[in-house]
């Protein structure tokens, strides 16, 4: 799982070619990749996504976010099918496509600037990793207003999404989340295809979880955007449940205003343990996962809750909002209002379930995660998408499909 970028690409017979011009700003770099020797060429593809993993040299691929590995995998899939691939950062605002690109895959940011500049016959796919910006931002500001009314403090939300019209400039879209995220884009009338989000780690040790020791312990685990992801609600809920214990794992240094507003709950409340950021590959995270019965994560908008899926892999029962965009099946519970009262009620009810029922939920959580969210599953799903919807798609009524070599 920890292949370096060079070995990852070398295993395919691929070497990175850097542009001759030295560019100091990563946002302006271009990485050019060629398919393995002997592979029939299908032309060029443009990928505008996460560039950093292509420039890491001998460093391992970051586990901080799934998009690092996923960006590499998208490129690999195209290379395996005979495309030369130019990779740029999705934040590159100066790149002007000059080649006869046959496929353009890009994140929502900057998509609408590039899309009109590729050849008319180029198939344009937007890779959607958040809910639509109108839904996302409305939900984000609603959370901030609710917090302002409850606590008399105004915080910011770094998870607001810039206005963009990517889906309206695309021929189709790929979505990491479930029907919740897909529904926010249906208005555009474009074909939408789910590519289940990957996970950086899987675990084989959760079957021996001590249910009785863990039944009153819960985890909130997420990256920055604490109000967006409901940490304020969870802290207030657990502050009123002294018989339940909450572990909080997140990058505290990213949000000093939040820490000031919730210092008492985070650092002065006996049943709340503020742990900070934890590497999901490390033993500390494994210990936390074994000690907690469930993950509580009432986000207001996601494109596919990667942290929730990681915790499901680790044997935690998910208590999630619908907007987290994760299918939980029989393993966990979906919150309807995500308010403090509902969080308390659901936590108390789950903690009182019989040991056999909790053990079954743990195993179901692991099973759903393994069946739907691994790197192998992401790779297979994206490969099917390319084979079924790109290689067989006519470029226009008078030309051949991409499945036919030029």
In this structure, the dihedral spanned by the alpha carbons of residues 402, 80, 16 and 108, taken in order and rounded to 10 degrees, is 60
363-400 pLDDT, tens digit per residue, is: 999 999 999 999 999 999 999 999 999 997 655 433 33
Cα–Cα dist 107/90, whole Å: 6
Tokens of 5: 């970028």
**pLDDT for residue 207:** 59
CB 80 within 8 A of CB 38: no
Q: How far apart are CA 209 and CA 312, in angstroms?
A: 13
What whole-number distance in Å separates Cα of residue 376 and Cα of residue 202?
11
Contact between 48 and 105 (Cβ < 8 Å): yes
- In angstroms and rounded to an integer, the radius of gyration of the C-alpha atoms of the chain is 22
Q: Is the pLDDT of residue 89 over 90?
A: yes
Dihedral angle over CA of 286, 290, 294, 296, nearest 10: -30
Q: pLDDT per residue over 342-359, tens digit each?
A: 999 999 999 999 999 999
pLDDT (average), residues 188-208 = 87
pLDDT of 205: 61
**Burial letters 184-209, b for 16+ CB under 10 A, else e:** bbeebebebbbbbbbbbbbbeebeeb
> Distance (Å, rounded) from C-alpha 320 to C-alpha 328?
9
Q: Is 50 exceeded by the pLDDT of residue 335?
A: yes
CA distance 144 to 227: 7
Residue 363 in 3-state DSSP? helix
Average pLDDT over residues 66-71: 92
Per cent of the chain over pLDDT 70 is 90
Q: Are strands 172-175 and 192-194 parallel, antiparallel or unpaired?
A: parallel
Calculate mean pLDDT across residues 146-166.
93
Sheet of strand 172-175: strand arrangement: 30-33, 83-89, 43-49, 101-107, 123-128, 172-175, 192-194
Residue 158's pLDDT is what? 81
Choose between 405 and 110: higher pLDDT.
110
What is the structure's pLDDT at 97?
Answer: 93
More confident residue, 206 or 305: 305
pLDDT digits (tens, 9 = 90+) for 252-263: 999 999 999 999
As beta bridge partners, residue 294 has 218, 317
Residue, of 64 and 196, whose pLDDT is higher: 196
Q: What is the pTM of this model?
A: 0.88
How does residue 65 score in pLDDT terms, banded at 50, 70 and 90?
A: confident
Q: Which of 86, 125, 83, 42 is nearest to 385 (CA)?
A: 125
Question: Mean pLDDT, to the nearest integer, of 168-178?
Answer: 97
């Amino acid at each position: 799982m920890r292949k370096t970028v060079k070995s990852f690409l070398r295993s395919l017979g691929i070497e990175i070619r850097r542009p001759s011009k030295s560019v100091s700003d990563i946002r302006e770099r271009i990485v050019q990749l060629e398919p393995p020797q002997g592979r029939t060429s299908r032309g060029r593809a443009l990928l505008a996504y996460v560039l950093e993993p292509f420039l890491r040299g001998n460093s391992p691929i970051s586990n901080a976010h799934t998009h690092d590995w996923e960006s590499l995998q998208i490129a690999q899939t195209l290379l395996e099918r005979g495309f030369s691939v130019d990779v740029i950062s999705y934040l590159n605002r100066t790149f002007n496509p000059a080649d006869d690109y046959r496929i353009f895959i890009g994140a929502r940011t900057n998509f609408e600037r590039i899309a009109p500049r590729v050849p008319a016959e180029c198939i344009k796919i937007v890779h959607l990793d958040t809910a639509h910006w109108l839904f996302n931002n409305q939900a984000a500001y609603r959370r901030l207003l609710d917090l302002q009314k409850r606590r008399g403090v105004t915080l910011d939300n770094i998870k607001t999404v810039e206005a963009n019209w990517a889906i309206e400039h695309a021929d189709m879209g790929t979505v990491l989340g479930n029907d919740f995220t897909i529904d926010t884009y249906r208005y555009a009338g474009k074909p939408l295809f789910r590519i289940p989000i990957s996970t950086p780690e899987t675990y084989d040790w959760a079957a021996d979880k001590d249910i009785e020791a863990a039944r009153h312990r819960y985890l909130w685990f997420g990256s920055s955007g604490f109000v967006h992801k409901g940490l304020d609600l969870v802290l207030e809920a657990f502050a009123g449940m002294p018989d339940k214990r909450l572990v909080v794992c997140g990058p505290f240094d990213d949000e000093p205003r939040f820490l000031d507003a919730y210092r008492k709950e985070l650092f002065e409340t006996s049943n709340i343990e503020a742990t900070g950021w934890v590497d999901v590959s490390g033993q500390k995270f494994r210990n936390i996962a074994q000690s907690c019965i469930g993950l509580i994560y009432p986000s207001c908008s996601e494109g596919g809750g990667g942290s929730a899926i990681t915790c499901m892999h680790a044997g935690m029962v998910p208590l999630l909002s619908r907007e987290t965009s994760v299918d939980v099946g029989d393993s966990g519970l979906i919150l309807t209002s995500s308010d403090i009262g509902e969080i308390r009620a659901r936590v108390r009810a789950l903690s009182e379930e019989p040991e056999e029922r909790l053990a079954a939920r743990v195993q179901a959580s692991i099973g759903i995660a393994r069946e739907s969210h691994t790197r192998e599953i992401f790779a297979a799903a994206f490969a099917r998408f390319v084979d079924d919807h790109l290689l067989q798609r006519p470029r226009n009524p008078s030309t051949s499909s991409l499945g036919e070599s030029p």
